[in-house]
Amino acid sequence: MAQMKLVAPQTLPPLDPDFKPAVLANRAFVQAVQDSGGGVPLKIALERGDGSVTVFETVAFAPDSPEAGQNLMYAERLVKFLLWARGGYKVIIGGSEQIANHLKAVYAPDGARAFDYDFMGGVYEKTFEVVGCSVDECPDANDTTMALGRHLDGNRIGFDLGASDRKTSAVINGESVFEEEIPWDPKNMADPSYHYEGIMHSIKRAAEHLPSVDAIGGSSAGVWINSRVLVASLFRSVPRDQFDAGVKDIMLRVGEEMGVPIIVANDGEVTALAGSMSLETNGVLGVAMGSSEAVGYVTQDGNITGWLNELAFAPVDYNPGAPDDEWSGDIGCGALYFSQQCVGRLAPVAGIESENLDDLPVLLEEVQALHSAGDERAVKIFQTMGVYLGYSIARSSRASSPSSTRSSR
Q: What is the pLDDT of residue 409?
A: 36
Burial of 13 (0-12, 13-18, 19+ CB in 10 A): buried
Residues 6+ apart with CB under 8 A from 43: 55, 56, 57, 93, 94, 95, 135, 138
Q: What's this model's pTM, rounded to 2 decimal places?
A: 0.82
Q: What is the pLDDT of residue 143?
A: 86
Q: What is the pLDDT of residue 147?
A: 75
What's the pLDDT band for 379 if we cut at 50, 70, 90?
very high
Domains in the chain: ranges and CATH: 22-143 (no CATH), 146-278 (3.30.420.40)
Q: What is the pLDDT of residue 198?
A: 96
Q: What is the pLDDT of residue 401?
A: 45
Q: What is the pLDDT of residue 398?
A: 53
What is the chain's mean pLDDT, rounded? Answer: 89
Q: Is the pLDDT of residue 129 over 50?
A: yes
pLDDT digits (tens, 9 = 90+) for 285-327: 888 777 667 778 888 888 888 788 888 889 999 999 999 988 8
Q: Is the pLDDT of residue 233 over 90?
A: no
pLDDT digits (tens, 9 = 90+) for 27-49: 999 999 999 998 999 999 999 98
**Mean pLDDT over residues 200-216, rounded?**
96
Query: Cβ(53)–Cβ(141) under 8 Å?
Result: yes
* Closest to 275 in 3D by CA, of 394, 155, 150: 150
pLDDT digits (tens, 9 = 90+) for 240-256: 889 989 999 999 999 99
Q: What is the pLDDT of residue 408?
A: 36
Kindly tell me the sign of the dihedral angle through the C-alpha atoms of 161, 162, 164, 165: negative
In percent, how much of the chain has pLDDT > 90? 61
Q: Is the pLDDT of residue 73 over 90?
A: yes
